[in-house]
Amino acid sequence: MPQNDIVNKNIVSQRDVFLLIIFKVVLCIFVLAGYYVIMKILAIDPGYERVGVAMLKKTASGSGGEKLIYSDCFKTSAKLAFTERLYLIGEEIERIIKKYKPKAFAIEKLYFNTNQKTATMVSEARGVFIYIALKNKLKIFEYTPLQIKAAVCGDGRGDKKQIITMVKKLIKINKLIKYDDEYDAIAVGIACFASERNF
């Protein structure tokens, strides 16, 4: 066999090995990227006077556990017209979505108590939140209070104090939380991660 043919075959063989190595490296990067992709949830405890908000994240692998990125209790003044309060809570939720870029949106389903007027107004607030989430192409998840308590406390009969205690055990919170609404929003996010595998 001519010397040139041997040299050319060696060059081709080395090139094939090099391309194979590159392919395997790129494949590994894609696999790891998919494995460790960050899933973010915006969780809401709905209201119009006080809105509990929490942004949680975890990796698709679940290896890092849930982490609290941000939480707050957004308040509106009772001196404002109800329609203006709806506008303000909508603006705040949209601001948070733009800043943190979640992939999913979790919200508590309304529990109708004896105060029908309050329930109606909270229903309207929920409508604002869901509209903003859909407008920003987030996947919507809704949970009843019973489902949230079961996910956080292991029992659907857990009270407010038990929920707060369990939330503190399940996720690290590096701040002082004043209002229960904020804990409730974090609990909604925990329930979403416990219930949903893929967004």
At 196 the pLDDT is 84
- Among candidate residues 45, 66, 72, 182, the one labeled active-site is 45
At 144 the pLDDT is 93
Residue appearing with tokens 């809105």: 51
Q: How many domains does the chain have?
A: 2
Residues 120 and 171 in one domain: yes
Residues 26 and 52 in one domain: no
At 10 the pLDDT is 52
Q: Give the structural domain span for 15.
A: 1-35
Residues 44 and 31 in one domain: no
- Among candidate residues 16, 49, 92, 108, the one labeled active-site is 108
Residues 61 and 145 in one domain: yes
Q: Give the CATH number for residue 144.
A: 3.30.420.10
Helix axes 116-135, 82-100, angle to 10 degrees: 40
Residues 21 and 44 in one domain: no
45 is catalytic: yes
Intervals of the chain under pLDDT 70: 1-20, 23-37, 60-64, 112-114, 197-199
Residues 122 and 185 in one domain: yes
Residues 31 and 42 in one domain: no
Q: Each residue of 9-40: pLDDT tens digit?
A: 554 466 666 666 776 655 455 444 444 457 89
Query: How far is residue 189's CA from residue 148's CA, in Å, rounded to a whole number?
Result: 9
Q: For residue 40, what are its two tokens?
A: 């973010």
At 66 the pLDDT is 86
108 is catalytic: yes
Residue 98 neighbours by CB under 8 Å, 6+ apart: 136
Q: Each residue of 94-118: pLDDT tens digit?
A: 999 999 999 999 999 987 666 788 8
Residues 19 and 108 in one domain: no
Residues 113 and 125 in one domain: yes
